[in-house]
Structure 1
Amino acid sequence: MSSKDVDRLSRLPEPIVSHILSLMPTKFAVRTTILAKRFQYSWMFVTNLDFDDDDSTNATDIFSRLALLLTESRHNSDSFIKFVDRVLESCRSPQVNLVRIHVYYKVRESCPSKWIDKAVRLNVRELDLRLSLSHLPLSLRTCKTLTKLVFHRTGRDRQASKCWECPERVSLPCLKTLDIDVCDDPHENAFRVISGCPLLENLSLEVYRVWGEYERQDDYIFNIPTLKRLKLMLGYDLVNHKVVLNVPKLEYFVLCGELFSLFVMEDVSSLAEVTLSIERLDSDHHLWDELFKGLSGVKSLSAQNENSRGCFGFISPLPVFQNMKHLELNRFWNPEFIPLVLERSPQLTCLCVKHVHDYSKHEESDWIEPKVVPACMLTNLTTIKFKCVGQKCVIHLMEYMLRNAEVLKTVTITWRNLCFQEETRLAAKLLKVPRASHDCEVSFIGGGSLSNASY
């Protein structure tokens, strides 16, 4: 810095100033009017507009024309509404990249529709909405510049029985990412939007049911030839449905919630990575069997069992995961299940096991060593990661892996909820086990001095 006072901020080129202001919540961008005269109108040329009613909590007087709008508490919806109205009306950017509007209390129905209309007139590319809205305005349904749409209703609205509605006409020719939630009947709303997105690549759909509403028997058919990423969140006993996936370009699939629907994989030939997080399961376990069969071509699988009653049962044998190289099992999986998966995964190179079934009822007699060593343990399995407590059945599983995995290079064991003495005892026991692989390094991570110890 020179000895003279230099206002370097004011000397920045206008595009740089606009870019900086676009990286902050809009209320802060507007506050820059107090810095210098040259900043009086800079905020009008931002390319991102970020409105959040929580952001107005500490608002202060910054500009004579906006003073009233920024000094009210966030619980006064009128001040927030007026602020959003004024900024959207004053924005002079030829194209806005992002408009984010999060409102956590109910506002007049006309307000969100008016905001969306103004955003569309600004040639918005990404629209992120969390607010109360009963229907999608025509301007949104036919926006030619929109590439990403996120629309979730607020918590209070989600508890209401009436879902947002989408009239017949939908044409979003540039939309590639869609993230929405819908109540009870996706056919009437969500699938109507999806059908109007010819370039859709990323879809996140949350379907939840309001108690007491009717049940429909229609299938959920995802026939989207351009889709690459799909996330489905199913909840509240959505039963009697069949989910059909005809998505030949799908690479990443995430399924969360409750498994009460039959999944039919018509074409998932490009599927590479799958994440499952199942909270509840229909008593008929064939749904789980069918889901695994449909995912048999996956390369990476992460399965989280949130059902604390124990591991899911299987009516038929597991399918052969011919291409799977990475497997992660989390939460309440029985140790006996792991060799079964390994047996059906001949190309597996990395196994991660977290928080396996930790019921105290598991005793030494519960572990039955497989008669045949899985092929992957003899030729491909190089990395194993365990994160668990020290039940006898789990320790026996670890010993089995060390004795039989011939190409292992690294084994990482993270102790959980154990005292230092118990960590030391179990580590010493495992280190005495003869290793089939002479290149195998065993590392222990725990709360005591065993942290990051390798042998």
Structure 2
Amino acid sequence: MSSTNANVDRLSLLPDVLLAHILSLMPTKSAVGTSILSKRWKSCWTLVHSFDFHYIDHIPDSDTFLSFVDRVLKLCKTSQVKLFRLHCSESLIGNTNVPKWINEAVKLNVCELDIQVIIRELPLSLFTCKTLTTLRLAIGGCDSDVLNVPSIPSGVTLPCLKTLDIHVFNEPFVNVCKLIYACPILESLSLSLEKRRWREDNQEYSFNIPTLKRFELKTPRCTSSISKVVLNVPNVEYLILGGFLSSVFVMEDLMSLVEATVLYSEVEYKHLVIELLKGLSGVKSLSWSTSTFGVPLDFPLPKFPNLKRLEFKRFSCFGWFLMFEVLQQSCELEHLCIEEPEEICWKEPQSVPTCVLLKLRSMKFISFKRRECDIKFIEYLLANAKVLKTLTITSEIWPPVDEMRLCEQFMKFPSASGCCEIQFVRKWSHFYNKLA
């Protein structure tokens, strides 16, 4: 290759549309910074289709940030903005600049809006945008921490919106309802509700969202009575629940549910655990990580006829009981994973669940600590799981000699399966495969 060819700037030879696409993958400040490279690059950034503005990360003061965003939007030449992201934790940005920028993004036929700002009002144009497909809002007011959504006239919708992700503070429900009702083809909904001040409200909010496929809800601890919210989501496939389990929502008609993840840190009302499990009875994959202290043991659990995969994480003695109760009701379970159970005195169940005897093919024990209760559980599993193919033990760093000793101990246990492979996995290493 000649020296002339070796020095050719091939990147600069690319067409404008391709250079603009590359610059759109960068933070906007970095994309604009390429204008100083050469005359060829001077105006390439004006064709970018994605804008990513972070006040804290890139700009030293609010006046500079305001001028920068104004200049970028003024010189923008794209006909459609695919992404407009604005993350500002500084209240000095003001209540007039952000609505102005959002209005500009709407005029540029924005598809995805990601807004995290401290502001009291949002422009009406945001909620009448015909091109918007994804909307993420994390909005706080400077004084009262309230999301203020402008009045939405009847009949106005967000006709193309499929993904709605809202993080709001205090008394959010009236405004949240407005947004949800304005989305006729909504497929993914995420609600994160913060703070503990809730006004007294005895109304029942009922949502019928037949198009919803994914629902995520994080609820706060409530210090007063709150509204009952009923969600009718017959086509939801993925459900994630977290925060504090209380009577915020009632889920109904989950017949299409494929996967559910429960991540509650606290449970206020005992019966809600059982009611929640009833609502999840049709799920195919369940991940459960929540406080189960005080779960009423005399409440019958529902059957889980479709459950194939079950994960239990960080549970106490009541969690062991609850897990075996779920196993008893899950005749088709094939994959089981438990993670970081508390140390308790092992008490062998009075009967062996049908799924353990006839269906369970793989078992994973994460953060195995070689405690007596952990080893007793493994012994119980090997003695009863007739079709078990793989037992995976994941632990912290162990000396190889300890793995060998533990494997030898497991090999002495009676094994109902004639072809179970035991795999020891360190978090930083490859598999150590042993045959049981």
Contact 2:219 2:248 in 1 (8 A): no
Distance in 2 of aligned mates of 1:17 and 1:321: 53
1:264 to 226, 229, 250: 250
| Equivalent residue number for residue 13 of structure 1 | 15
1:331 to 314, 317, 326: 314
| Equivalent residue number for residue 360 of structure 2 | 381
Q: Secondary structure at the match of 1:116?
A: helix
- Post-superposition Cα deviations, 1:229-264, rounded to whole Å, max 9, x if no partner, equal 000010132654433221111000100100011653
| Equivalent residue number for residue 119 of structure 2 | 133
* Residue pairs, 1:70-81, within 5 angstroms: 73=60, 76-81=61-66
Unaligned runs of 5+ in 1: 58-72
Q: CA deviation at 1:375?
A: 1.1
| Equivalent residue number for residue 51 of structure 1 | 53
Q: Aligned pair 1:444/2:424, yes or no? A: yes
Q: CA deviation at 1:38?
A: 1.8
| Equivalent residue number for residue 2 of structure 2 | 2
Normalising by structure 2, what TM-score?
Answer: 0.91
Q: Aligned pair 1:278/2:261, yes or no? A: no
Contact 1:389 1:417 in 2 (8 A): no
Q: Aligned pair 1:429/2:413, yes or no? A: no
Q: CA deviation at 1:48?
A: 0.6
Normalising by structure 1, what TM-score?
Answer: 0.88
* Residue pairs, 1:211-250, within 5 angstroms: 211=197, 213-237=198-222, 239-250=225-236
Q: CA deviation at 1:424?
A: 5.2
Letter in 1 for 2:48: V
- Post-superposition Cα deviations, 1:292-349, rounded to whole Å, max 9, x if no partner, equal 01110000000112x3x85744441221110000001111243343322211110101
Letter in 2 for 1:105: E
Distance in 2 of aligned mates of 1:148 and 1:174: 9
Distance in 1 of aligned mates of 2:273 and 2:146: 31
Contact 2:316 2:341 in 1 (8 A): yes
Distance in 2 of aligned mates of 1:87 and 1:315: 64
Root-mean-square deviation over aligned CA pairs: 2.4
Letter in 1 for 2:221: Y
Contact 1:94 1:122 in 2 (8 A): yes
Q: CA deviation at 1:186?
A: 3.3
Task: Give the direction of change, closer, same or farther, for the CA distance of 1:196–1:263 in structure 2 (3 Å limit).
Answer: closer
Contact 2:171 2:199 in 1 (8 A): no
Q: CA deviation at 1:14?
A: 1.2
Q: Secondary structure at the match of 1:189?
A: helix
2:278 to 278, 293, 304: 293
| Equivalent residue number for residue 301 of structure 2 | 318
Distance in 1 of aligned mates of 2:146 and 2:332: 49
Q: CA deviation at 1:421?
A: 6.8
Q: Secondary structure at the match of 1:237?
A: coil
Letter in 2 for 1:91: C
Task: Give the direction of change, closer, same or farther, for the CA distance of 1:116–1:262 in structure 2 (3 Å limit).
Answer: closer
| Equivalent residue number for residue 100 of structure 1 | 85
| Equivalent residue number for residue 197 of structure 1 | 183
Number of paired residues?
Answer: 426
Q: Aligned pair 1:148/2:150, yes or no? A: no
Q: Secondary structure at the match of 1:352?
A: strand
Contact 1:310 1:332 in 2 (8 A): no
Q: Secondary structure at the match of 1:38?
A: helix
Q: CA deviation at 1:17?
A: 0.7
2:384 to 393, 396, 404: 404
Q: Aligned pair 1:179/2:165, yes or no? A: yes
Letter in 2 for 1:151: L
Which sits farther off after the overlay, 322-331 or 258-267? 258-267
